Amino acid sequence: MDELHQHILDALGMNTTSKDMRVLSAILKSQHSPTDFVSFEEIRLQLTLKEGRRGGKDPTIYRSLSSLQQMGYLEVESRGKKRGYKSNAHLIQTAIKNRIERMIPELTRDVKRLTQEIDHIEGLNVEELIDQMIDEVLGGVKEEKPLFAAEWEGILWLIEEKIATPLRKGDLVRIALDWIRDLNDFNDIEKRFSQTIYRQGIEFRILKHRRVSTGMIDKYREVMRRFYK
């Protein structure tokens, strides 16, 4: 059997090496005609002849017969306390067709789900994923490379692009004041954060420093109150 057809049979639950299929084979070999019902003892004998004693264990055979009946590959006839089992090309063909009809919607849903997962993976921000993995699983913080900027506009651009823009709702921003020259500088910095904070609800805190006077800190706070009432 070629690889494609074997793959299809496996998908249909008809792996030719499985116990169920070996039991089905034993039924077909025990029949003298496609309409004959065969007994459990005949099936067990056929399995024993082919596989030895390991192939004729009753509980295993009964499980396979029940499974084959549920899949539609055989019919069962009651003979008082005993049962007869029958299979043929028509029953197998019908069972396969029914299985295919049931599988198509299932496979369609699987394809849709896999397509969505592929889209998610393709659009994944790997750095953000690593950050979250470290925070949630390792409990650590990803070590960031130092960032440098020259000139005041370069510093402001760095603040906006690397600090303000990536912020998410619930994040906390702490800013030290000892490196800021005056209130105008602070206003420039604050404006870089303003749209992000309005949009995402970022918490903004000013850190005190001994080199910054209380009066200047109060002025900075007043700026914050004006923007974030």
| The token pair that represents 211 in the structure block | 């080199």
Domains of the chain: 3-110 (1.10.10.10), 143-227 (no CATH)
Cα gap 166→174, rounded to integer Å: 15
Q: Is 74 exposed, middle or buried (0-12, 13-18, 19+ CB in 10 A)?
A: buried
Strands 82-86 and 203-207: unpaired
pLDDT of residue 102: 86
Helix (H) or strand (E) holding 223: helix 214-227
pLDDT of residue 19: 87
pLDDT of residue 25: 92
Helix (H) or strand (E) holding 93: helix 89-122
181: CB partners within 8 A, 6+ apart: none
Q: Collapsing DSSP states into helix, strand and coil, what is residue 166? A: coil
Helix (H) or strand (E) holding 196: helix 183-200
pLDDT of residue 80: 76
pLDDT of residue 129: 73
Between the two ends of the chain, the Cα-to-Cα distance in Å is 76
* CA 118 from centre of chain: 10
Amino acid sitting at position 200: Q
Per run of 10 residues, the mean pLDDT along the chain (length 229 residues) is 72 75 92 93 90 78 92 88 91 89 87 86 75 68 60 68 72 69 65 60 66 66 57
Q: Positive or negative, the Cα torsion across 26, 28, 29, 35?
A: positive
pLDDT of residue 120: 78
Cα gap 141→80, rounded to integer Å: 73
Query: From residue 126, how far is each of 72, 133, 158, 169 by CA, in Å?
Result: 48, 10, 21, 20
Q: How many CB atoms lie within 10 A of CB 103?
A: 15
